[in-house]
């Protein structure tokens, strides 16, 4: 069985990433949910919960552990997989908070993902904040730009996902993936 490195969908909060991931899943693509959101939901229920707005470094460590496991699962599936956020996102959030990035996180952020990363930008017409995404729209844009700069700095190629209907976005991503995978795949390996 050949190893197929996963694709990443990233971008600022409230940009439609999860809706896009869900649409891709309905089309038969192996998808993996957003780890930070899941952890925020879990940690919010705990008295001593580790949350990004109060303990970002510790939260980043929690994310790293789960994202490494998620990537292993995606790599072991033997088929195309798409992740809702990935380890480079941790670097983007830490950078935005002016927290130094541990070498272990930086190394993990640069391996075993496709070089092309799909980016969704928050747009005012679709942005909604909630208890897991408590940012005003302007801060969501700031996060988006930090993530974009981080991915570019790590050497990833950005594929901007246009603001279309969810079905059209899913079609756009699948067409781009097919184009990318039909060529010599540009991936990041363990080496």
Q: Any idea what the CATH number is for the domain that residue 39 is in?
A: 3.40.50.300
141-163 average pLDDT score:
96
Task: Look at residue 154 and tell me if it is in a domain.
Answer: yes
Name 81's bridge partners: 30
Task: Look at residue 1 and tell me if it is in a domain.
Answer: no
Task: Look at residue 100 and tell me if it is in a domain.
Answer: yes
pLDDT band per the 50, 70, 90 thresholds, residue 2 = low
Span 77-125, pLDDT tens digits: 888 999 999 999 999 999 999 999 988 899 999 999 999 999 999 998 8
Q: Does the pLDDT value for residue 191 go beyond 50?
A: no
CA distance 10 to 121: 9
pLDDT at 90: 96
What values do phi and psi take at 162, rounded to 5? -70, 155
Find, among 24, 164, 124, 158, the residue nearest to 83 by Cα: 24
Q: Which domain holds residue 39?
A: 7-182
Q: Where are the beta strands (DSSP E) in 38-176?
A: 81-84, 116-120, 157-160
pTM here is: 0.91
Task: Look at residue 189 and tell me if it is in a domain.
Answer: no
Task: Look at residue 2 and tell me if it is in a domain.
Answer: no
Task: Look at residue 55 and tell me if it is in a domain.
Answer: yes
Span 40-88, pLDDT tens digits: 999 999 999 999 989 999 999 999 999 999 999 999 888 899 999 999 9
pLDDT at 134: 74
Find, among 41, 42, 39, 34, the residue nearest to 14 by Cα: 34
Number of domains the chain is built from: 1
Spatial contact of 31 and 19, defined as CB atoms under 8 Å apart: no
Span 9-35, pLDDT tens digits: 999 998 999 999 999 999 999 999 999
């Amino acid at each position: 069985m050949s190893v197929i490195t996963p694709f990443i969908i990233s971008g600022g909060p409230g940009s439609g990433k999860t809706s896009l991931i869900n649409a891709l899943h309905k089309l038969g693509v192996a998808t993996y949910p957003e780890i930070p959101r899941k952890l925020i939901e879990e940690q919010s229920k705990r008295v001593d919960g580790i949350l990004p707005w109060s303990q970002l470094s510790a939260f980043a460590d929690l994310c790293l552990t789960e994202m490494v496991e998620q990537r292993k699962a995606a790599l072991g599936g033997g088929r195309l997989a798409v992740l809702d956020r990935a380890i480079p996102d941790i670097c983007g959030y830490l950078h935005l908070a002016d927290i130094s990035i541990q070498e272990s996180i930086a190394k993990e952020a640069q391996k075993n993902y496709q070089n092309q990363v799909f980016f969704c930008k928050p747009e005012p017409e679709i942005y909604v904040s909630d208890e897991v995404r408590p940012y005003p729209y302007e801060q969501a844009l700031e996060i988006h730009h930090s993530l974009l700069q981080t991915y570019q700095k790590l050497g990833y190629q950005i594929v901007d996902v246009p603001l279309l209907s969810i079905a059209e976005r899913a079609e756009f991503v699948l067409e781009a993936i097919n184009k990318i995978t039909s060529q010599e795949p540009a991936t990041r390996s363990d080496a």
